[in-house]
């Protein structure tokens, strides 16, 4: 039996009207992602990759096209009250800024999505403990966000995003505020959690180092996918980064030609 994609994007378009001008932010975008797959969307600023993430997460509405989650078309998912339900049940978000609540402890920040879903107290306690242990922060559970480093705060944000077991985790430049060592640790953690939890991830970046953690890389330009990298040669580390950078260079030369 053929596997059903966790997410299928078909002919998605997003057109903005600015005065008398129109901006085609997304141009008939098509791709699929399967259970446990880590997809990276890579492109320059203004290429449309963040718009794509916003559309997938129900934060923005598509002008045309369809989105299918677990084989079912998501209709009106960007309109309230459906949008809140869609994001609460289907989508996890990790942003460049951690968006933690300073008044709450680390444990409370992570548990918040389950609390908002009115889950039973015993389930909230058990799931929160599991997530704290997965991201290596159990001993800091009673601390406040301001008492943690940037890398630790992003671990909290990641645990909070995954505690509801979403169909898709959307990550928008999640290491943008971190130094290179912390960034590598967060990316490795995301990769490990995608494996352990069989979690599907779509991550947006402009950095080849970040992109090298993905199973596939979709290169975005002018609102559309113009190239795809599949690691068919089983490259790792610096070799994989180099392969991705070579594609970036090729694309830049093509655009200049």
At the top level of CATH, the class of 7-96+168-256 is: alpha beta
Residues 197 and 46: beta-carbon distance below 8 Å = no
Question: What beta strand segments (E) does the chain contain?
Answer: 7-18, 21-33, 38-42, 64-69, 72-73, 91-94, 168-172, 200-205, 216-221, 224-230
In the structure encoding, which two tokens stand for residue 209, read together? 């180092």
Q: Taking the model in full, what pTM does it have?
A: 0.92
Residues 214-228: tens digit of each pLDDT: 999 999 999 999 999
Burial class (CB in 10 A: 0-12, 13-18, 19+), 166: buried
String of DSSP letters for 151-163 = HHHHHHHHHHHHT
pLDDT at 257 over 80: no
- Phi, psi angle pair for 224, to nearest 5°: -145, 160
**pLDDT (mean) for 190-204:** 91
Residues 141-173: tens digit of each pLDDT: 999 999 999 999 999 999 999 999 999 999 999
For the chain, give the mean pLDDT: 91
């Amino acid at each position: 039996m053929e596997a059903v994609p966790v997410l299928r994007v078909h002919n998605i378009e997003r057109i903005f009207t600015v005065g008398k001008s129109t901006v085609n932010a997304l141009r008939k975008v098509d791709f699929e992602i399967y259970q446990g797959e880590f997809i990276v969307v890579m492109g320059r600023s203004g290429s449309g990759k963040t718009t794509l993430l916003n559309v997938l997460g129900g934060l923005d509405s598509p002008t045309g096209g369809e989105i299918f989650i677990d084989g079912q078309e998501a209709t009106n998912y960007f309109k309230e009250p459906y949008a809140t339900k869609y994001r609460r049940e289907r989508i996890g978000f990790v942003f460049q800024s951690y968006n933690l609540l300073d008044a709450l402890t680390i444990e409370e920040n992570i548990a918040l999505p389950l609390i908002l879903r009115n889950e039973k107290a015993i389930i909230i306690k058990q799931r929160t403990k599991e997530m704290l242990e997965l991201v290596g922060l159990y001993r800091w559970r009673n601390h406040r966000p301001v008492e943690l480093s940037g890398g630790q705060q992003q671990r909290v944000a990641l645990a909070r995003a995954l505690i509801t077991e979403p169909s898709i985790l959307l990550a928008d430049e999640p290491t943008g505020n971190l130094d290179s060592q912390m960034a590598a640790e967060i990316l490795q953690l995301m990769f490990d959690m995608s494996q352990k939890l069989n979690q599907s991830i779509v991550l947006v970046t402009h950095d080849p180092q970040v992109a090298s953690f993905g199973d596939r890389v979709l290169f975005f330009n002018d609102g559309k996918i113009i190239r795809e990298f599949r690691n068919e040669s089983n490259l790792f580390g610096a070799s994989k980064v180099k392969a991705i950078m070579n594609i970036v260079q090729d694309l830049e030369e093509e655009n200049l030609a």
